Amino acid sequence: MEPELEPPQLQFRSAEMGCAFDDFHGLISTPQVTGGSSFTALLELAPPQAVELLVTEDFPAKQPPPPPIFPTDIGLIHRASKFSVFASADNSMESNTILSVSNSIPVKQEELDADSRRNSSSPAGSDQSLKSGKRKEREKKLKESNKKSKSKAANDDGEELPYVHVRARRGQATDSHSLAERARREKINARMKLLQELVPGCNKISGTAMVLDEIINHVQALQRQVEFLSMRLAAVSPGIDFDLDSLFTVNGSSNDNSYSGIFAPPICTEGQLDGARQLQLQQLWHCDELHQSVWARETDTSNFIAPANSLLSYDSTSANSGKQVAPRCTTS
Amino acid sequence: MAESSNSRKRRKIDPDSQTRIQPETGPTRWRTQAEQQIYSSKLIDALRHVRRGGHGGVRDAADRVLAASARGRTRWSRAILTNRLSLRLAQINRKHKKAARPSAGKSRPRKPAKKLPPVESKVKVLSRLVPGCRKVSLPNLLEETTDYIAALEMQVKAMTFLTGLLNAGAAAPA
Q: What is the pLDDT of residues B110-141, one digit of tens each?
A: 566 666 788 888 888 888 888 888 888 888 88
Distance (Å, whole) CA A130 – CA A136: 9
Lowest mean pLDDT among A223-227, A274-278, B9-13: A274-278
Q: Which residues of B touch A227 (CB under 8 A)?
A: 56, 59
CA distance A88 to chain B (A): 11
pLDDT at B28: 79
Looking at residue A248, its amino acid is F
Q: Which residues of A touch B48 (CB under 8 A)?
A: 240-241
Distance (Å, whole) CA A40 – CA A14: 18
Phi, psi at residue A226, to the nearest 5°? -65, -40
| N- to C-terminal Cα separation, chain B | 76
- Supply the mean pLDDT for chain A: 55
Out of A194, A222, A299, closest to residue B152 by CB: A222
Out of B13, B22, B44, closest to residue A40 by CB: B13
**Testing the interface with B: which of A129, A130, A191 to mutate, by most B Cβ within 10 A?**
A191
In this complex, do B163 and A232 lie within 8 Å of one another by their Cβ atoms? yes
In this complex, do A39 and B169 lie within 8 Å of one another by their Cβ atoms? no
Q: Which residues of B touch A258 (CB under 8 A)?
A: 33, 37
pLDDT tops 60 at residue B165: yes
Burial-class residue A146 by CB neighbours within 10 Å (0-12, 13-18, 19+): exposed
Q: What angle do CA A280, A285, A287 make, to 5 degrees?
A: 95
A192 three-class SS: helix
Three-state DSSP string of B28-64:
HHHHCHHHHHHHHHHHHHHHHCCCCCCCCHHHHHHHH
Read off the DSSP letter of residue A132.
T
Buried b (16+ CB within 10 A) or exposed e, A296-326: bebeebeebeebbeebeebbeeeeeeebebb
Lowest mean pLDDT among A124-138, A220-234, B73-87: A124-138
Among A83-87, A110-114, A309-313, B58-62, name the most confident range: B58-62
Read off the DSSP letter of residue A136.
G
Cβ distance B11 to A204 under 8 Å? no
Mean pLDDT of B99-103: 55
Cβ distance A27 to A103 under 8 Å? no
Q: What does each C-alpha distance from B99 to B95, B104, B108 come to in angstroms? A: 9, 13, 19
pLDDT at A223: 92
**Testing the interface with B: which of A127, A230, A260, A268 to mutate, by most B Cβ within 10 A?**
A230
pLDDT tops 80 at residue A151: no
Residue B95 — very low, low, confident or very high, per pLDDT cuts 50/70/90?
confident
- Supply the mean pLDDT for chain B: 76
pLDDT tops 60 at residue B80: yes
pLDDT at A18: 44
Lowest mean pLDDT among A12-26, A153-167, A184-198, B107-121: A12-26
Q: How many CB pairs under 8 A join A and B?
A: 202
Distance (Å, whole) CA A259 – CA A219: 27
Residues A86/A92/A94/A96 CA torsion (nearest 10 deg): 60
In this complex, do A266 and B130 lie within 8 Å of one another by their Cβ atoms? no
Tens digits of residue pLDDT in A235-259:
877 765 545 545 554 444 444 444 4
CA distance B104 to chain A (A): 27
pLDDT at A88: 45
Read off the DSSP letter of residue A240.
G
Read off the DSSP letter of residue A322.
-
3-state helix, strand, coil in chain B (%, to 5): 75, 0, 25
Residues B75/B81/B86/B88 CA torsion (nearest 10 deg): 150
**Interface confidence (ipTM) of the complex:** 0.76
Hey, which residues 43-82 in chain B have their CB within 8 Å of chain A?
Answer: 44-45, 47-48, 50, 56-59, 62-63, 73
More confidently predicted of A21 and B7: B7
Distance (Å, whole) CA B83 – CA B64: 10
Give every CB contact of residue A33 below 8 A, 6+ residues apart in sequence.
Answer: A7, A9, A10, A13, B1, B2
Q: What angle do CA A229, B65, B74 make, to 5 degrees?
A: 115
Residue A233 — very low, low, confident or very high, per pLDDT cuts 50/70/90?
confident
pLDDT at A62: 46
Distance (Å, whole) CA A26 – CA A76: 11
More confidently predicted of A218 and A320: A218
More confidently predicted of A45 and B48: B48
